[in-house]
Homo-oligomer: A and B are copies of this chain.
Amino acid sequence: MPHVLQVDFNLQGPFGNEMAEAFSDLAKSINEEEGFIWKIWTESPETNEAGGIYIFETKETAEKYFKMHAKRLAGFGITDVNTKIFAINSKLTEITKGPVK
């Protein structure tokens, strides 16, 4: 059953095109992660925050990815990370056109 992983944290930058250049190889590698379906990359230069909304095929693959990702973020000096993993209410999500697959 697909699950949402939401992640955000403080970031001084880069944002926008600079962020895209810095992380395009990382983005390609995320496509290869177990259970990965999609990720929307979020950013807020005004508040110095960034993060992502992901869909994984299962709760377990979302948890496994986040465990690895938290270590990677720590390697960038980012340790104060907000994260939640949620199941999806598929009937309501269908009504509101949520693209889970």
A→B interface (CB under 8 Å): 4, 6, 8, 15-17, 19-20, 23-24, 27-28, 30-31, 36-45, 49-51, 53, 84-89, 91-93, 95-100
Known: A86-B51, A89-B16. A96 touches B43 (CB 8 A): no
Residue of B nearest to A38 (CB): B97
- Asked if residues B19 and A92 are in contact (CB atoms below 8 Å), the reply is yes
Q: Which residues of B contact A51 (CB under 8 A)?
A: 86
- Asked if residues A92 and B6 are in contact (CB atoms below 8 Å), the reply is no
- Asked if residues A4 and B86 are in contact (CB atoms below 8 Å), the reply is no
- Asked if residues A42 and B89 are in contact (CB atoms below 8 Å), the reply is yes
Q: Which residues of B contact A43 (CB under 8 A)?
A: 86-89
